[in-house]
């Protein structure tokens, strides 16, 4: 039986849209991706500005649960993405997804430690992908928020409890150069991270939040691959 609070949360139109089928986002799983509106950062290279600034989405969590109910034999996992999914209360939604038998992956910028910890402690998340936006000295420049330490706190916590997760960075070479990437590699390596480090290409659209372009290309030969396995994603 749902409480009023649960019903209210599950009926908010906070899902901008959802991708019905993907085999690439959560490795080894057949997933759908739920794109939540709004975000607690304002990254200059963000191309999801329509999602970040949306006041309302097209769907509710209940709509997604209805969809999942019909896809039990076709999908194995749900990816919670955005915007930043953790600024919404995800507990009831995740509980219901779990009851349907799906795995859950969370895509996050990592700064909402409290929410991430709660979801993990309730066994509602199976895998996390954290966007490591920039080294400390460039974090505010790129995200417009001074939340580097909050992101680091989450990474330290995931390492401490040995939670399965990956770290990735989106690179616009005009604002993040090879030295910055090597600084990130060194930081996460020293913290004890030993999974693959993913480097993703900046995607230029007509509406990147910072209205930025990219004129230079990352020189991969200058990236330190002696500490971690580096994987480049387009
Ligand atoms: S790129 Fe930055 S602003 Fe855009 S959704 Fe991700 S965290 Fe939010």
Mutation probe of ligand 1 site: the residue of 83, 138, 144, 207 with most atoms within 8 A of C-beta: 83
**Bridge partner residues of 32 (DSSP):** 78
Count CB neighbours of 6 within 10 A: 17
The residue nearest atom 6 of ligand 1, judged by CA position, is: 83
Instruction: Give the mutation target among 38, 41, 132 for probing the ligand 1 site: most ligand atoms within 8 A of CB.
Output: 41
Is any ligand 1 atom within 6 A of the Cβ of residue 52? yes
Tokens 């949360």 -> residue: 9
Task: Quote the percentage of the chain above a pLDDT of 90.
Answer: 84
What local confidence, expressed as pLDDT, does residue 64 receive? 98
| Lowest mean per-residue pLDDT among 145-149, 183-187, 203-207 | 203-207
**Is any atom of ligand 1 closer than 6 Å to the C-beta of 151?**
no
Residue nearest ligand 1's atom 5 by CA: 83
What is the arithmetic mean of pLDDT over 22-46?
A: 95
- Name the token pair of 206: 């007509």
Binding site membership of 39 for ligand 1 (Cβ less than 6 Å): yes
Question: Cα–Cα distance between 60 and 10 in angstroms, integer?
Answer: 6
Q: Is the pLDDT of residue 234 over 80?
A: no
Q: Has this prediction a pTM greater than 0.85?
A: yes
Interval between CA 70 and ligand 1 midpoint (Å): 31
Strand order in the sheet with 165-171: 15-22, 31-36, 77-82, 103-108, 127-131, 165-171, 197-201, 230-233
Confidence (pLDDT) at 1: 64
The span from the CA of 34 to the CA of 14, in Å, is 10
Write down the pLDDT at residue 136. Answer: 98
What sign has the CA pseudo-torsion 21, 23, 29, 35?
Answer: negative
In short, whether 46's Cβ falls inside 6 Å of ligand 1 is yes
């Amino acid at each position: 039986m749902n409480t009023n609070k649960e019903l209210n949360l599950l009926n908010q139109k906070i899902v901008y849209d959802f991708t019905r089928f993907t085999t690439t986002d959560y490795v080894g799983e057949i997933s759908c991706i739920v794109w939540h509106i709004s975000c607690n950062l304002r990254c200059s290279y963000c191309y999801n500005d329509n999602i970040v600034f949306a006041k309302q989405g097209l769907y509710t969590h209940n709509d997604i649960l209805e969809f999942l109910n019909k896809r039990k034999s076709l999908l194995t996992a749900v990816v919670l993405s955005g915007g930043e999914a953790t600024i919404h209360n995800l507990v009831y939604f995740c509980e219901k997804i779990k009851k349907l038998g799906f795995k859950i992956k969370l895509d996050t910028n990592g700064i909402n430690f409290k929410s991430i910890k709660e979801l993990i402690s309730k066994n509602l998340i199976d895998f996390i992908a954290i966007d490591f936006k920039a080294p400390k000295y460039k974090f505010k420049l790129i995200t417009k928020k001074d939340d580097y330490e909050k992101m680091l706190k989450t990474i330290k916590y995931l390492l401490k409890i040995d939670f399965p997760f990956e770290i990735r960075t989106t690179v616009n070479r005009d604002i993040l150069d090879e030295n910055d990437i090597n600084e990130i590699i060194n930081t996460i390596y020293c913290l004890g991270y030993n999974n693959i480090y993913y480097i993703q290409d900046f995607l230029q659209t007509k509406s990147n939040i910072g209205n930025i372009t990219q004129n230079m290309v990352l020189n991969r030969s200058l990236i330190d691959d002696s500490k971690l396995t580096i994987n480049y994603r387009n």
